[in-house]
Amino acid sequence: MFPTPPANIPPDPVEPIPPPPPSHMKVLSAAGLATMLAAMSMLGPFSIDAYLPAFPNIQATLGATPLEVQQSLTFYMLAFAAMVLWHGALSDAFGRRNVILVSLVMFAIGTLGCASAHTVHYLWVFRVMQGVSAGAGVVVGRAIIRDLYEDAAAARLLSLVTMIFSIAPAVAPILGGWIVTLFDWRAIFLSLLAYTILLFIYCYRRLPETLPPHKRQPFNPRYLARNYGEIMRSPLFHMKSGVVALNFAGLFVYIAAAPEFLPKHLGLGASQFGWLFIPAVSGIFLGALAANRIAGRMTFSRQIGIGFCFLIAAPVFNVLYHLWLPPALPWSVAPLLFYNFGMSIVAPAATLLALDLFPHIRGTVASCQSFALTLLGALVAGVIAPFLAHSVLWLAAGQLGFSASALLLWLTSRHYRRMLLRHPG
């Protein structure tokens, strides 16, 4: 249940008491809230992973080149990155619930447009519309968790969201492969449209407003510029957010390269993308489960250190294997399980450490976090993955480079924080 203040502590007479939720809206448990936030977060991976097996079908239907279809993913990621910079600020000003509901409506319209596109250029336009709206669940969901829970409880709920959310990257490409085999690529977007409509109904009826009006921030250029400037001038924010973004990039380079990596190097068909996504998502799930269990039992620093042991060891093994042996199942994909296990242990702690740098504007901070992660993801999808995809060894080395860079940022952030504590001026 949502936490409430102890009965023996009177409310602050200065702050108005937020109104109770409408009588028709049942109060969600922590598990119910986690399920709702995870369902909203799933829009992103469903939008990316479900249509990857359909790339050849889209090329044939729309008369497009492989690069043009690949750019539909890049445009989506760029739009996603640009808008997540604003979802949090909008929710700080107009409320969490309002931003979520409006975004779901926009996403549904964009998804319907993708299903009816008759040229690749129309597909680009509606993929941009999807990207503009898909990030609200991830960004605002983090702010909702921090509105309601503190420290270990917040970490446990965030890891629970990750556990539920991790189903999507595993299921999406498998479902996409089945749908494109039985029907065509348009049916993938129509299925996503049905999911979005059901999600909107669920959120409209059950999602509470966790940011009362008296705690909202002004939405004007001067105030926004000050907030964004404060965040962007913080070296600690860039370091802690960079840890999460770089670790994710190490996973996303494989996801973006999947249309070439799986058929060309491993000889797999459109319905066999599960060979990549099932071990990858199993690692995310198991890592989130471990993070949920250890939350509150050790410091965030120690938790992050344990995660990096897996994040470094997995790609090192992958590089050494492909230096001497050709690509083969399951060895070419198995390290992803251990890499993602470590990533899911690191992510909740590093995310909360960044959010707590600016507790008065957590929505805006969550936006900046997601912007960094998604912008790097767009760079990976459009430039880095195509460059590395011709060689499994290069993919493994690229993943190692991302995780090693994240580790360097984490160690630097710890040193910088100790320096600030010694010399606060």
- Residue 80 pLDDT: 83
Q: Hey, which residues does 295 pair with through a beta bridge? A: 298
What's CA 321's distance to the chain center, in Å? 29
Digit-coded pLDDT (tens) for 283-319: 888 888 888 888 778 888 899 999 999 999 999 999 9
Digit-coded pLDDT (tens) for 329-371: 888 888 999 999 999 899 888 888 888 888 777 778 888 887 8
CB atoms within 10 A of CB 18: 13
- Residue 23 pLDDT: 42
Query: Out of 1.10.150.130, 3.40.50.1970, 2.40.50.140, 1.20.1250.20, which CATH number does the structure's domain 30-211+235-422 have?
Result: 1.20.1250.20
> Residue ranges per domain, the chain?
30-211+235-422
Digit-coded pLDDT (tens) for 157-207: 777 777 776 677 667 777 888 888 888 899 999 999 999 999 999 899 888
Average pLDDT over residues 390-400: 91
- Residue 8 pLDDT: 44
